[in-house]
Amino acid sequence: MKIVEFETLDQITLHQQENPVFITMGAFDAIHLGHQDLINKTVATAKSNNVSSGLITFHQHPRSIIQTSKSSSLVFPLNKKLNLINEFNLDFVFLIHFTDEIMNLSHEDFFHKILLNHLNVRGLIIGENFCFGKNRKGNISYLQNQSENYLDLLEVVNISESNLSEVSTSNIKNHLKNGDIELVNEYLGRKYSVEGLVIKGDGRGKQLGFPTLNLPPQSSFIPRAGVYITTSQINQKSYDSITNIGTKPTFNFSNPIQEYTIETHLLNCEFEEKVSLIKVEFHHFIRDEIQFEDQFELISQIQKDIIQAKEFHESN
């Protein structure tokens, strides 16, 4: 998969895609089952027509530019989104920085100048609610009118009529907010996960008898604060674990911290060597984060959480 990145509109207009390409297009936040269906259809359709397959997406969510007053946190950061897209055997990903210039481009100019003239798009596979261009004026009806003269193929995928009708990024965010991890995993078609470089914590977990591997505050959407049953992947090996997302209120009640931390305790082992990278997959929400009266209450509750996590892992 070749990633072609455009930071400005001028860079797009200087680009000339040689091979014709069938593409799908969108924010593709989460890469959920609906997104996967569009991408798989794009790859298969392009292959059957002997053309290249591609995907157009954005460096940041368009909503972060269009609706600055609204939260536009991504379910996954950009690098993870691209890694997930890479699994689908696309030939190209066109990564566009959603600037003011792009936002104010009319749907006619986007279709004719960008898609046709510079990206050599000859086929579109899109969802039924797809819109593009300034004020989202480019819609399915417009594309259907244009496709007769300018496209070899236009396929509109009616997700609302399939078993994927409930699968959407907004629903996934709502379920993450509520701690409904099982539903999130079902909509993603894989385990929801966070990953990154391990950072040095304050060592309090080790002092309490439960050493943790800590991830820094995430720039992407944060699930409900609390304790989760998880699996941790370290050096291509999997370990049963339990993870807390939150602000550690028992120890920070007098000086509350605003950024969420992610702390993971491995259930059946303790790493002696330094761990630099970890991926944490989420299975089940156990409980909300609680401010305890003292560390002894906290230790007692953590022990109960660990028993529940071990029982889960033994039966799954």
Q: Percent of the chain, pLDDT > 70?
A: 93
Write down the pLDDT at residue 142: 98
Average pLDDT over the chain reads: 91
Total number of domains constituting the chain: 2
Write down the pLDDT at residue 251: 60
- pLDDT tens digits along 109-124: 999 999 999 999 999 9
pLDDT for residue 237 is more than 70: yes
Same domain, 113 and 30: yes
- pLDDT tens digits along 13-44: 999 999 999 999 999 999 999 999 999 999 99
- pLDDT tens digits along 238-271: 999 999 999 876 566 555 556 788 999 999 887 7
Q: Is residue 309 part of a domain?
A: yes
Write down the pLDDT at residue 252: 61
Same domain, 24 and 131: yes
Same domain, 64 and 129: yes
Q: Is residue 180 part of a domain?
A: no
Provide the domain limits for residue 93. 2-161
Q: Is residue 176 part of a domain?
A: no
DSSP, collapsed to helix, strand or coil, labels residue 202 as coil
CATH of the domain at 300: 2.40.30.30
Write down the pLDDT at residue 67: 54
pLDDT band at 69 (very low <50, low <70, confident <90, very high): very low
Q: Is residue 173 part of a domain?
A: no
DSSP, collapsed to helix, strand or coil, labels residue 74 as coil
- Compute the distance between CA of residue 315 and CA of residue 284 in angstroms, rounded to an integer: 13
Same domain, 228 and 155: no
pLDDT for residue 63 is more than 90: no
- Token digits of residue 209: 């008898």
Q: Is residue 166 part of a domain?
A: no
Cα 247 to Cα 1, 183, 217, distances in angstroms: 39, 25, 10
Q: How far is CA 27 from the centre of its chain?
A: 10
Same domain, 266 and 305: yes
Work out the average pLDDT over 154-181.
91
Work out the average pLDDT over 140-166.
92
pLDDT for residue 47 is more than 60: yes
Write down the pLDDT at residue 260: 83
